[in-house]
Structure 1
Amino acid sequence: MRMTHLIAATAIAMSGAVVSASADPAFWKFEWPNTNFDITSVESWVEVLSGGPPKDGIPALDEVSFISVESEARLEDLEPVITVEIDGAVPRTYPIRYLTWHEIANDTVAGIPIAVTFCPLCNSGITFDRRVDGQTLSFGVSGKLRNSDMIMYDRETESWWQQAIGTGIVGEYTGAELKQLPTWMESWAEFKARNPEGLVMDEPPWPRQYGRNPYVGYDSSTRPFLYNGEMPPYDIPALARVVRVGDKAWTFERLRKEEEITEDGITLTWRAGQASALDQYTIGDGRDVGSVRVKDAQGNDLPHDVMFAFAFHAFFPEGDWKQN
């Protein structure tokens, strides 16, 4: 898909024009009067851009409801979902068809306040514990991007947080790190086969075209949207999917060939059966990119992310590319 089509789709979907901002943080203070811009780890404000929608223009979800697996009839089998399985709670999953339009779901599972997040522009789907220094935070979508990745904000201090790394970058919580939980993206068919008594997030009560992909063909593009940083090394395509575990990355291309890789004390497995959320107009019709699980030597699920290669390189410029 050509970038002009992506811009048009984004404008239609989110009802905002894509604009760049001044490199002076004073530009943002009018919109964010409660954010302390004097405390920041952002070295160059040129990196921060408006993605189009204003603050909360993409509405995060705060009241999430669930239905039983057997009651869900809208999802296609290959549709991607983010699965949360925490001891003491019924397994539950959050469909990407909803997170594409909301990007954050604030929830509580087994007494743990969590934020399930998805940034379509870098394919990053991460679940965080919302507790920081004894305070429970609630997250919203700022409408800002850095390295094409969503900047979240907490409603308590209006500090800004980088979604791909779970780190505060502007305001009181600059330098603070959210704990990433060991959740994963898989197909709806995989979740319901493993958890027939599980729960699935119900359709939110918002006027959105749920099930539609507003970024048709994006993961077949040659360049990321609103990104001016370096491209990945080793001739890895910018929008190739990689599995990030800490500061290490394994390409999906290698995983598809080997199906199982055990390195550095962890095991990654790949299997077919999950649609790309960023390919076809209807998410369930997306091409099969497969699903990945990441476990430690004892078989425990590990925190990880499936993101685009450009985003890994942007946030981990000295990262370890596990090529062989």
Structure 2
Amino acid sequence: MTPLHRLIVTCATVLALGGSAQADPSRWQAEWSRTDFNRSSVEFAEILSGGPPKDGIPAIDAPEFLPAADETRLSAREPVLTYAPEGAPARAYPVRYLMWHEIVNDVVAGRPIAVTFCPLCNTGMVFDATINGVAHSFGVSGKLRHSDMIMYDRATESWWQQATATAIVGQMMGMQLTQLPAWMESWERFRAEHPDGLVMDEPDAPRRYGSNPYAAYDTSDRPFLYRGEDPPHGIHPLARVVRVGDRAWPLDRLREAGALREGGVVLTWRAGQASALDSREIGAGREVGNVRVTDTQGRPAVHDIPFAFAFHAFHPEGRWMLGE
């Protein structure tokens, strides 16, 4: 049974159990003895098991890197999550690894960062992992809310919503991580723009790196373990959007225009990147293109490219940039 099939079975089981049983935090105490469930900013009924237990999806700590010129396993159109801080070589985190680990705890130019990817929401985001001057590392809780990964910090085992970078349960409740400028692009484009860059090496774990365990997910009718509203304006729940703050540009609109200059940012689209959530082989996925977002001075702007349902779930009052 593939991971996707196991997820389908888990989805059916969770829905059969009903929300009230899942809403009782006493069910989680044995696994989460250090989590303060008296502090929560969300309804526990919204939190569901994604299937794996705590750390069942193992985060990567202290990843190893190699020069981009020495990497031979990635295909040209495969997506990587790029982080390019000033004063340090750009780093590429291949989605073929993030797909199976979801969090990479790294230190770049002296800054602790958390590199994250939730396949069910297509949210690839990099955060400053320093909280009140203290460096933190994160793990995968195995829990989902609105289909989005819930992370946990290892110091207090508070739960953090990846899509909003906010602690929602535990001692850290209400704290916010700072999202850093990072972007999805093809491996070919990373190599062209950062010939002296570094790429994360393959983890030493028994995974089928390069394969997509969620084949055909982004052309499904409905997202898994999501019970919320569909997006407005007739936008398909699994359509990609470019999110900047609380605004969302439909990717189809940007793709048709090629470039948009609106609301103090500049968005561009160029072909060459495969969808990681389409075909069984990541590098063979259908075209989704390379998106860049900058401010009007050309500096990278914080953004991500979630599915439309995820933007609507976490930014219900958000603005849809439809071009009227």
Give the TM-score normalised by the residue count of structure 2. Answer: 0.95
Cα separation, 1, equivalents of 2:304 and 2:4? 26
Q: CA deviation at 1:92?
A: 1.0
Structure 1 residue ranges (4+ consecutive) displaced by more than 4 angstroms after TM superposition: 4-7, 16-19
What's 1:164 paired with?
A: 163
Q: Tell me by how many angstroms 1:30 deviates.
A: 2.1
Shift in Å, 1:138: 0.5
Q: Which residue of 2 aligns with 1:56?
A: 55
Q: How many residues align?
A: 316
How far 1:257 moved relative to its partner?
A: 0.8
- Matching residue's letter, 1:8: H
Deviations 1:185-219 (A, max 9, x none): 00000000111111100000000000000000000
1:44-123 matched pairs, under 5 angstroms: 44-123=43-122
- Whole-Å Cα distance in 2 between the matches of residues 5 and 99 of structure 1? 17
- Tell me if structure 2 keeps the 8 A contact 1:80–1:187: yes
Does the 8 Å contact 1:10/1:214 carry over to 2?
Answer: no
SS at match of 2:211: coil
Q: What does residue 18 of structure 2 align with? A: none
Task: Please give the secondary structure, in 2, of the residue aligned with 1:307.
Answer: coil
CA distance in 1 between partners of 2:285 and 2:274 (Å): 5
Q: Which runs of 5 or more residues in structure 2 are unaligned?
A: 15-20
- Tell me if the contact between 1:77 and 1:188 (Cα under 8 Å) persists in the aligned partners: yes
Question: CA contact under 8 A between 2:4 and 2:213: conserved in structure 1?
Answer: no
Q: What letter is aligned with 2:286?
A: R
| Matches of 1:186 and 1:49, distance apart in 2 | 31
Contact preservation (8 Å) 2:7, 2:50: no
The Cα offsets for residues 53-103 of structure 1, whole Å up to 9 and x where unpaired, read as 000000000020001111100000000000010012111100000000000
8 Å contact kept, 2:62–2:107: no
Q: Describe the SS at the equivalent of 1:161.
A: strand
The TM-score normalised by the length of structure 1 is: 0.95
CA distance in 1, matches of 2:281, 2:109: 33
C-alpha RMSD of matched pairs (Å)? 1.5
* In 2, Cα distance between equivalents of 1:47 and 1:122: 16
Aligned to 1:200, the other structure's residue is in SS state strand
* SS at 2:254 equivalent: helix
Alignment partner, residue 311 of structure 2: 312
Deviation at 1:7, TM superposition (A): 4.2
Tell me the equivalent position of 1:289.
Answer: 288
State the match for 1:31 in structure 2.
31
The corresponding residue for 2:247 is 248
* CA distance, structure 1, for counterparts of residue 254 and residue 10 of structure 2: 38
Structure 1 regions of 5+ residues with no counterpart?
A: none
Between the aligned residues of both structures, percent identity stands at 59
How many Å separate the matches in 2 of 1:68 and 1:62? Answer: 19
Q: Deviations over 1:258-292 (max 9, x none)?
A: 11111111111111110000000000000011011
Equivalent pair of 1:241/1:309 in contact (CA under 8 Å): yes
| Counterparts of 1:166 and 1:222, CA distance in 2 | 27
